[in-house]
Structure 1
Amino acid sequence: MDNRINEIRRVIRALRVSMREAEAIMHEQINRDEDCTFVAEEVMKMRVVMSGLVQERAALGDTDPIVVASLFVPRRRPAPSRGRLEPRRLVPPREVAQA
């Protein structure tokens, strides 16, 4: 059973990468105002296969998340906190001295 779970996880990882690549191609075609029917149909077929694999994996009792490193975009580090900021006070504009 462990071998089957590992095989399913491997196929899911590969499908996720393929789906992301196909979606990127589809978006490029849309941006160029081209027909993306073929690619969209392929993505839908991949989703059907993915759904079946996920159901089979759940039936085998595997609930651990499947991480694909290439799908994650690194985030910027948050700016360091500078302590509590005081609210801004509204000050009337300075009058220009008439000479």
Structure 2
Amino acid sequence: MDNRISEIRRSIRALRVSVREAEAVMHEQINRDDDCTFVAQEIIRMRTVMSELVQERTKLGDTTPIVVASIFIPRRLPAPPRGRIPKRRLVPGAARVNG
């Protein structure tokens, strides 16, 4: 029974990581205004499997929280730091080129 609980806990950890990665992909697709139906369906499927595993784990008597170290790396680059914008000098009217 302990082996089955360990196996379930390992599967849940792996599913959590997969769901987070899939969610990141889905958010990128949404930001690009792409179709994210397939990824969304896969996330729902993974969550359904995870829910069934959690129910089985609870029936076996394991209620210890499962801690997953977050090694999530954002796919988007961070926003550049906001600094002062240098002032631009206006070109005097006489220096303009008339076309």
Aligned to 1:38: 38
- Give the count of matched residue pairs: 72
Question: Alpha carbons of 1:4 and 1:48: their partners in 2 closer, same or farther (altered >3 Å)?
Answer: same
CA distance in 1 between counterparts of 2:17 and 2:66 reads 12
Aligned to 1:66: 66
Q: Which runs of 4+ in 1 moved over 2 A?
A: none
> Which runs of 5 or more residues in structure 1 are unaligned?
73-99
CA distance in 2 between counterparts of 1:70 and 1:50 reads 18
Aligned to 1:8: 8
Answering whether residue 57 of structure 2 is matched by residue 57 of structure 1, we say yes
Q: TM-score, normalised by structure 1?
A: 0.71
Aligned to 1:25: 25
The alpha carbon displacement at 1:71 in A equals 5.9
> Which runs of 5 or more residues in structure 2 are unaligned?
73-99
Aligned to 1:78: none
Question: Alpha carbons of 1:66 and 1:24: their partners in 2 closer, same or farther (altered >3 Å)?
Answer: same
